């Protein structure tokens, strides 16, 4: 999807603003034929930034921190999903041992 198609999805986002988001690294489309190619994940990122800026009034200064924290949450969720899939391949005994350790760890007081 080219930039004009992305802009058509967001009537209140101007080309200069979207260009700035790309230049700041907040959105990372592919470069092709001298133009940016936005994949589905890039459009989702534009939607996220749009919503944070317009609906939640996240300032431009705070946006990098918010995006970084959200990226960390998404990465952690993906990692947990991978661990769960790996755990599903283990024996029932191993699964129970891991579950018991997780429960015990959560109950221990934190320093």
Give the residue extent of every domain in the chain: 1-57, 62-111
Assign 109 a pLDDT band (cuts: 50, 70, 90): confident
Distance CA 101, CA 108 (A): 11
> What is the reported pTM?
0.80
Mean pLDDT of 54-81: 97
Q: What is the pLDDT of residue 33?
A: 80
Closest CA to 67 of 106, 10, 33, 28: 28
What whole-number percentage of the chain has pLDDT above 70?
A: 99
């Amino acid at each position: 999807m080219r930039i004009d198609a992305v802009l058509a999805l967001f009537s209140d986002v101007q080309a200069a603003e979207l260009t700035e988001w790309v230049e700041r690294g907040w959105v990372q489309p592919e470069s092709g034929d001298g133009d940016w190619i936005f994949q589905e994940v890039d459009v989702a990122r534009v939607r996220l930034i749009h919503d944070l800026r317009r609906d939640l009034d996240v300032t431009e200064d705070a946006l990098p921190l918010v995006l970084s924290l959200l990226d960390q949450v998404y990465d952690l969720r993906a990692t947990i999903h991978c661990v769960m899939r790996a755990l599903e391949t283990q024996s029932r005994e191993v699964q129970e041992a891991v579950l018991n350790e997780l429960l015990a760890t959560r109950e221990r007081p934190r320093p």
